[in-house]
Structure 1
Amino acid sequence: MESVIEAMKTENKKLREQIKLARLPHMVAQVSELRSKNLAIREKRFILEEKLKDLDIRKKECDNLQEEKKRLETETRQLLARITAQKRARAKVDDLLPTGRNFDVNGVTNTTPEEDQKATGIVSPDILVEEVHQEDDTDCDESV
């Protein structure tokens, strides 16, 4: 595109020189013809320069869109990696949880400590605390 513009500029210069030479009275018709050609070339050159500017702007926009696409692809990969890691962690936690216990969304059991003990065979800290308090009450009764 730029080479075409340069070629038009050189042709325009040649036509100007011919116009200068053609100013002799017997070449008046040729002068007007050369001037009209010169004007047509200027118009074409102007149009091509405008198209070139427009193409440059579009190229910059395209480059910006490519950068945005790369950024979004990277962000998507990171989010997918986080989701996968969370799924793995959740699966690990699910594997570690004793069976027979019902958990709600926040990880809180929906069963009583006694039901948990029956299902898992593990004594809940709540039951142990109750037993200790009961033992403390019996000690107080004996000393009185």
Structure 2
Amino acid sequence: MSVVRDPKPGPRDVLVVTRQDYALPGKDLQRIATAIHEHLTVLVTRGILTHAAAHPRPPRERHRRTGFRGGTVLTVQVEVTARNTTIGLATALAAIRGGFDALAVTAPGQFTPAELAHLVTVTVGDDVDVTTHPRLPGRARR
């Protein structure tokens, strides 16, 4: 996994919050969320991410409109403090993709290689939510 790191802190840093929901019917969402969360926690500990979470949750309205009838979706949220939105978004998406890549080892039997490849490619899809905020006092730059 290649994670973009910007070594120069500055007063105009931004907090980039990236969130995406994944409809994964028939999968053990709690086990998958735990595996991805563990991967993201390592990146937070290393200072690459500011905050990260992965957990099952009820689907949002947009999933109901698109015909999703499952009970829960997997939500992955990553926060990165970076010099600009582009660097923050690239880092966040690489972290999420890395979490799905890690599932082949951490949650064997949950996905076929083709399913994992599909999840990695849809991470940049239309369902990704990205918001940016000025750097918040007290939050370290990553």
Q: TM-score, normalised by structure 2?
A: 0.21
More strand per residue: 2
Greater relative contact order (Cα < 8 A, sep 6+): 2
Q: Which of these two proteins has the greater Rg computed from alpha carbons? A: 1
